[in-house]
Structure 1
Amino acid sequence: MFTGIIETLGLVKKVEKDQENLHLTIESSFTNELKIDQSVSHNGVCLTVVAIDEAEYTVTAIKETLEKTNLDLIQVGQYVNLERGMKLGDRLDGHIVQGHVDQIGTCIDIKDANGSTYFTFSYDSSLNNITIEKGSITVNGVSLTIVNSTKNSFSVAIIPYTLEHTTFNSLKKGAVVNLEFDVIGKYVSRIQGLKN
């Protein structure tokens, strides 16, 4: 379980294909605090630590994960948003995030708003994921509030701190991102679908 509040950026040091799996080796400021079998969110994707070597650790993404996320696009030298699992009893500063990406989306617009930056994303609405105005969404692991919701797109407003301390600072139009829709909204939507 995560909150969508990014702890730090991780530098991708190695990307290795192994049959249908992908091993990512990451350098991070908290590697020395990790242990084998621990869950870490990478751009919103919950992955298990399988190896640790000094300041670097390795995680493995399987085919199912690669098909639903943008992890297969990651290259050596890129940064990823990192968050360790939340501790029981900590404040929930973002929202409830599972680290289970629902689908990918595409950045279709970026606008400076004199103090904040608006990012607009499109997504395939045929997969039955929904957004609502002022609802929560996770984009590449970052917990955000939706400011404009349509059938197949939404916008978020990023404050300067978030822009500076996440991979949003390098996001360009056309970029593919990981989307995790609000878990409570997903359950409500599912229940409503069963009633109809």
Structure 2
Amino acid sequence: MFTGIIEAIGQIAAIEMYQGDMRLYIQTRELDLSDVKLGDSIATNGVCLTAVALPGDGFWADLSRETLAHSRFDSLAVGEKVNLEKAMMPSGRLGGHIVTGHVDGVGQIMERREDARSIVYRVRAPKALARYIASKGSITVDGVSLTVNAVDGADFELNIVPHTAGEAITGAYQPGRSVHLEVDVLARYMERLLQFAPAQGAAEQTDTGAQQDGLTLAKLAEYGYSRR
């Protein structure tokens, strides 16, 4: 589990291919690896990778075909910079939002403009992800926890403050750049619950024959989570 607060900017040092899979060597630079063990997870541009070797100044990680199919890692080049975050400790602060490191899709930077000292990006998400993105909600872009400013169909806007631009690779994006997107996990669970909710006013029957109330839009509205 991660928070979306980037700890360091690393660099791709080596790329090796093995029968369709990929192995990456990532130099971690300022990231402290003294508490990292083999098998630990490190989010790399928002993708949860497992450290399979720790030579000292970085880590090796294996990327499966599944990971390559749902990320832009197949287009990585040696020397490319990446956002890094170690897995959250149970005693740590949740400074961003709950991030799993399981990328949902690849978006594209459509526009960049300056707004005082901030940078505003317009990002286009895959259409299948658009329903999970809400104005003032949270989204993870290349591992960075960000707030959505506005939504227009599958496009959404982000405001990058100077601190974020300086501490992550986010400040260097230009139109045409592909980025990893992870939507708010709570939105996904809410959708799944609603898929199995009974019709409004109906009750769900359990395996024992007992009746129990299910999650409905009416109930969500009653507790302030949606509007009728």
Counterparts of residues 27-46 of structure 1 (less than 5 Å): 27-28=27-28, 29=30, 30-46=32-48
State the identity as a percent. Answer: 35
Task: Give the alignment's TM-score, normalised by structure 1.
Answer: 0.95
**Could you give the per-residue CA deviations for residues 137-176 of structure 1, whole angstroms, max 9, x where no partner exists?**
0000000000011221111100001001111122111011
Distance 1:186 1:121 in 2: 20
8 Å contact kept, 1:32–1:55 = no
Letter in 2 for 1:37: G
Letter in 1 for 2:27: E
Deviation at 1:104, TM superposition (A): 0.5
- Aligned counterpart, 2:9: 9
8 Å contact kept, 1:102–1:179 = yes
Counterparts of residues 72-83 of structure 1 (less than 5 Å): 72-83=74-85
Letter in 2 for 1:24: L
- Aligned counterpart, 1:135: 137
- Aligned counterpart, 1:161: 163
- Aligned counterpart, 2:104: 102
Residue among 53, 71, 74 paired with 2:73 = 71
8 Å contact kept, 1:111–1:119 = yes
8 Å contact kept, 2:108–2:176 = yes
Residues 11 and 96 of structure 1: is their aligned pair in 2 closer, same or farther, counting only changes over 3 Å?
A: same
Residues 128 and 153 of structure 1: is their aligned pair in 2 closer, same or farther, counting only changes over 3 Å?
A: closer
- Aligned counterpart, 1:85: 87
User: Unmatched 5+ residue regions in structure 2?
Assistant: 200-228
Task: Give the alignment's TM-score, normalised by structure 2.
Answer: 0.82
8 Å contact kept, 2:52–2:61 = yes
User: Unmatched 5+ residue regions in structure 1?
Assistant: none
Distance 2:22 2:152 in 1: 34
Q: For the aligned residues, what is the CA RMSD? A: 1.4
**Structure that is richer in strand per residue:** 1
8 Å contact kept, 2:160–2:171 = no
Deviation at 1:127, TM superposition (A): 5.1
Letter in 2 for 1:89: S
Letter in 2 for 1:142: V
Deviation at 1:191, TM superposition (A): 2.4
Higher relative contact order (CA 8 A, sep 6+): 1
- Aligned counterpart, 1:122: 124
Q: How many residues align?
A: 196
Distance 1:176 1:128 in 2: 16
- Give SS of 1:96's match: coil
- Give SS of 2:190's match: helix
Structure with greater Cα Rg = 2
